[in-house]
Structure formats: structure tokens, C-alpha cells
Structure 1
Amino acid sequence: MKRIKIVLLVLILQMPLMAIHAREHEAQTLALNLQKLNQLIQILDKMYDGYKILSDGYNKIKQVTNGTFSLHDLFPGCSTESKPGHQEVLPRHRHRGLSAKNGQGV
């Protein structure tokens, strides 16, 4: 009977130690999970950047095929109006008898 009491006393005294060990393990697991989460966030950011580049390129190609592409959209500092002292290219080609559509003589 005395042995059972001693064994029970030892088990009762070890329970808080096991609880502390379990909490340490949970804290380590939580720290690892946070590291994994940060890595996944970085991967997601890189994937989004790649998607954005791909999407912008696709839209530009789509604009070119639809005929709505403008170089002035790529260079915001440039205006579409002609500046004094600059000749427009299109009237000069028309003067030579070239068509703007196919670049050949009319």
C-alpha cells in the first residue's frame, strides 16, 4: 500500500513537468508554423508579381492584335500632339504616294 502511494505521488509530481514539456513543444511547433507561413506569403507575393507581369503582357498583345495599342501609353511623358518644328511622318508618306496600311505605293 505504501508503494502505491509513493508511485501515485511521483506521478502526480511529474504531471506539471509533462505539461511544461507539452507547452514547450507547442511553442516550438507554433514558431515553425509562423516561419512556414512567412515563407508561403513570400512565395505568394512572387507568384502574384509573375501573374501581374504575364497578365500585362497578355493584355498588350491583345491590344496589338485588336489594333488598340498605343506607344504613347508606354511613355506617359510623350504627347500625341505634334510639336512645333517636328514633321509628321504620315503626311510625308502620303506625299510620296505610300499607303499607311501596307507601306507600298498606291
Structure 2
Amino acid sequence: MEITGFAQKALKKILENNKFGWTGMRIFYAGEVNGDPSFQMIMVKEASEGDHVENYEGFNLYYEKEVVEALQTASMDYVAEGFSIVIGAGKTCGSH
């Protein structure tokens, strides 16, 4: 997994001030917007049942199988400006 752009800086800041016991970020597939897959991300304390888990420098990224399926069926990697996370087999998801 690779986290780039301001996402990396934001995660570092969040984890430095982690008063809530978060262990990672969970990514949800939120349908399509203008033909591109859309995702939502929240900080969580634990994985949900059935989540894939990847570790990045001690931080966990949890994502449901729908995220992987959406990225696999997309015609090209979905990369949003400034915020991208590479998961699984080099597929990229982002958030505007």
C-alpha cells in the first residue's frame, strides 16, 4: 500500500493526536459520480467483518470488497487530485 499527497501528511497528523484509539482508516465504496467510482473514508478503531486489511507504517487501511471490485472494473485507475491511496494489486482510489 502507498499513501501519497496531503493524505500522508493528514494521516501523520491524525495519528500524532490520536485521542480516540483509532487503528486505521476504513474506505467505503459510495457508488459512481460522473462515471468514476466514488469512495468515502472514515477513521475507525477496528475492522468490520469481511474487510481487507493492509498495514502502512503501523497504520491500518480497512476496505470492503466492493472497493476492490469497483477499482477492478474501472476502465482506468481513479486518481483524485491531492489524495490517493494505492491498495491491493496497485489499484488506486482517491477522494476529492
Range class of TM-score, shorter chain: under 0.3
Work out which of the two has the higher radius of gyration on C-alpha atoms and give 1 or 2.
Answer: 1
Larger helix proportion of the pair: 1
Alignment TM-score, normalising by the size of structure 1: 0.21
Alignment TM-score, normalising by the size of structure 2: 0.22
Larger strand proportion of the pair: 2
- Of structures 1 and 2, the one scoring higher in RCO (CA 8 A, sep 6+) is 2
